[in-house]
Structure 1
Amino acid sequence: MPTTDELVETVTALVEDAVTAPSMHNAQPWRFIHRAGTRSLALYGDPSRTLPAGDPEGRGLHLGCGAALFNLRVSAAHHGWDAAVELLPDPRDPWHLADVVLQEPDPVEPETPGPVLADLHPALPKRHTSRFPFSDERIPGEILDGLRGAALLEGCRLIVPGSWHSDAVLDLVRDAELFESADAALREEIASWTRTGRAGEGPATEGVPSYAFGPRQYGVTAPARDFDPERGLPGRISADFEERPQIALLGTLDDSPADWLRAGQAMERVLLQATLDGLSTSLMSQPLEWPELRALAREPGSLTGFVHMLFRFGYGPRGTRTPRRPVGEVLTVE
């Protein structure tokens, strides 16, 4: 039986891995509570890190926290634990997103066949959002099949659209950019989460730093979000992006907060598997932030009733690590 100090040390290591997860504008909307002397860990959404303009329903917050929860599960497996998860354990507290109990693996039960969570651990420090051009090399079908399987393991579906559907989704991304340019509150919110080194900006441990913006795009083929639309960052280069971006849509049948948490876990599982497969990745939430566009993103007739995330996959620069808050700011030991 681990001592209290040993459990705190393990939990700290798990949270250090958990917070490498992506979140909308790198807002890092999570906090963890560990009760000393127990194997339990609670995940909460942080109401001070909501995005009222871009994420009024909190769907993006749940996706980010779900991704952090999945990373915690991967880290637990890496450290030799099973993580038993209960989603939304307290209906009276919607910010209480999950409870996790660390359990010793059953020595009697044989290991289940298929992918092992611990195998994804090496990808945690390597997964970065890339807003750089990818090559036109097509992704092999067996890799895409593996990514579909990764989503299914978390109860979600990954759709790789055909040409007409892909074109329609990319049109929605461009429509969202027009909506965004006309919404002063949304532009101000995004600007508040960018970090260019100017006076008066928020802490350097959060938000999207200028070195992660990537180059400006020639044309409008690539759907990477531009965090410097006013061209205020001096010396930023421009580049040609791939002519036909390779995208995928992650969705679920229903659209409840529990579905958002499951989708966040599936999103991270797909991203980690893609990283191990040698792919570069980026996330696109622009059209999903507008209800009138989100409804159009799904493929007619698909069993995926609600789309939660758009992925861009390809071969190219992996992107760079963006900052994270110290574990002491997101983990409370009681």
Structure 2
Amino acid sequence: MTAPHLDPAVVAEIVADAVSAPSMHNAQPWKFVFRPEDGVIELHGDPERAMTRTDPDHRALHLGCAAALFNLRVSAARHRLPVRVRLLPDDRERWLLATATVDEQAGADPDLAALHDALRRRHTSRFPFSDEPVPEAVLDGLRAAARLEGCRLVVPGDWHVETVLDLVRDAEHREEIDPQVRAETAAWTAPGSGATGRRDEGVPAAAFGPRSSGGPSPVRDFGRSRDLPDRGWAVFEKRPQLALLGTATDTRADWLRAGQALERVLLRATADGLATSMTSQPLEWQELRWTVRDPAEAMGHVQMVLRLGYGPQGPATPRRPVTEVLEIR
């Protein structure tokens, strides 16, 4: 059987869409390989971009790569290219996380192409949200988005939100007293060293958001220990609207499903007019992660804590050029 012809220029467009995905500290821990003779796009993890202290088992790396994989599926659907995805296709290649093969027999997902408009509008917002509640109908749509990827999205009650926020503060304290964590975070949030001071990775100061003037912030404060004179102050919402994304088990395949579910939920939220951010600090400490879940829920393992609401979208963060992340063999 002859593999469908794929124009490398189209593949480059698809990969450019894929890499708009979020990743821990915007490290962009992915590589793509296009094999024209097979019509296959391979997704590889890049361990050189891993967080060795806060993500030693590479769970967050898998989530970020899988979010990029979901974007690839969205972009392929927009180009009317049905793809068949295989997760962890070769046990001998640990960092080959998935393959996407153009296949006319692959089942169509009519909702994918509709999410394309949200790809470049989705940005992590570390700004205050309003106290306007997210309607239940919108939350139902987000729950359905997670289910389509084999995951669950749970909206915790008041006591559980307070528990999660307490765990966030506990994790922040652990970060502050751990020099390795501080160094790792600083490496991905420092300005570039070139003539312009810009870099195509990491979290720039413009995306830090304001400092909280009304107590602890529900978002990670990358500028807590830095003197940034142009950074303002703001009061964040008193009761953040959180959602927990999780899986029944906790294998590498679960992480890849969760990353795709995460991006599907984020794009659906963006399309619905919501601003979003991720609160992953407690999940980065094994001794805290298990306490994030509600023991009364069927969700076995929380993979991400999302913050949802109405407020300003965050600024775009830099991305590496496609020429650095795509190889054609």
Go from structure 1 to structure 2 and tell me whether the alpha carbon gap of 1:223 and 1:241 turns closer, same or farther (over 3 Å shift): same
Once residues 201 and 235 of structure 1 are traced to their aligned partners in structure 2, the CA distance between those partners, rounded to angstroms, is: 18
Q: Which amino acid aligns with 1:97?
A: L
**2:302 counterpart of 1:307:** yes
Give the conservation status (yes or no) of the 8 Å contact 2:3–2:39: no
SS of 1:129's partner is: coil
| Aligned partner (choices 252, 266, 271) of residue 266 of structure 2 | 271
Go from structure 1 to structure 2 and tell me whether the alpha carbon gap of 1:90 and 1:3 turns closer, same or farther (over 3 Å shift): closer
**2:211 counterpart of 1:213:** no
Q: Deviations over 1:41-95 (max 9, x none)?
A: 1100001111101111100000000000000000010000111000001111211
Q: Which amino acid aligns with 2:7?
A: L
- Higher mean C-alpha displacement, 194-203 vs 120-129: 194-203
Once residues 244 and 198 of structure 1 are traced to their aligned partners in structure 2, the CA distance between those partners, rounded to angstroms, is: 39
Give the conservation status (yes or no) of the 8 Å contact 1:123–1:275: yes
Once residues 255 and 202 of structure 1 are traced to their aligned partners in structure 2, the CA distance between those partners, rounded to angstroms, is: 40
Partner residue of 1:161? 156
Partner residue of 2:89? 89
| Aligned partner (choices 140, 146, 169) of residue 145 of structure 1 | 140
Partner residue of 1:27? 27
Per the TM alignment, residue 2 of structure 1 is displaced from its structure 2 partner at its CA by 9.5
Once residues 29 and 197 of structure 1 are traced to their aligned partners in structure 2, the CA distance between those partners, rounded to angstroms, is: 18
Partner residue of 2:7? 7
For 1:76-115, list aligned pairs within 5 A.
Answer: 76-104=76-104
Give the conservation status (yes or no) of the 8 Å contact 1:250–1:307: yes
Once residues 78 and 166 of structure 2 are traced to their aligned partners in structure 1, the CA distance between those partners, rounded to angstroms, is: 41
Give the conservation status (yes or no) of the 8 Å contact 1:222–1:243: no
Q: Which amino acid aligns with 2:93?
A: D
Give the conservation status (yes or no) of the 8 Å contact 1:148–1:158: yes
Q: Deviations over 1:133-156 (max 9, x none)?
A: 001101100000100000000000
Once residues 58 and 169 of structure 1 are traced to their aligned partners in structure 2, the CA distance between those partners, rounded to angstroms, is: 22
| Aligned partner (choices 226, 243, 252) of residue 247 of structure 2 | 252
SS of 1:136's partner is: coil
Give the conservation status (yes or no) of the 8 Å contact 2:274–2:310: yes
Go from structure 1 to structure 2 and tell me whether the alpha carbon gap of 1:199 and 1:10 turns closer, same or farther (over 3 Å shift): closer
Once residues 256 and 95 of structure 1 are traced to their aligned partners in structure 2, the CA distance between those partners, rounded to angstroms, is: 15
Unaligned runs of 5+ in 2: none
RMSD of aligned alpha carbons: 2.0
Q: Which amino acid aligns with 2:129?
A: F
* TM-score normalised per structure 1: 0.94
Q: Deviations over 1:298-322 (max 9, x none)?
A: 0012111000100000101001100
Partner residue of 1:131? 126
Once residues 304 and 81 of structure 1 are traced to their aligned partners in structure 2, the CA distance between those partners, rounded to angstroms, is: 34
For 1:221-240, list aligned pairs within 5 A.
Answer: 221-240=216-235
Once residues 301 and 170 of structure 2 are traced to their aligned partners in structure 1, the CA distance between those partners, rounded to angstroms, is: 19
SS of 2:287's partner is: helix
Unaligned runs of 5+ in 1: none
Instruction: Figure out how many residues of one structure are paired with residues of the other and give that number.
Output: 328
Q: Which amino acid aligns with 1:131?
A: R
Give the conservation status (yes or no) of the 8 Å contact 1:192–1:201: no
Once residues 197 and 76 of structure 2 are traced to their aligned partners in structure 1, the CA distance between those partners, rounded to angstroms, is: 32
Per the TM alignment, residue 7 of structure 1 is displaced from its structure 2 partner at its CA by 2.1
Give the conservation status (yes or no) of the 8 Å contact 1:165–1:299: yes
Once residues 203 and 325 of structure 1 are traced to their aligned partners in structure 2, the CA distance between those partners, rounded to angstroms, is: 12
Per the TM alignment, residue 203 of structure 1 is displaced from its structure 2 partner at its CA by 6.5
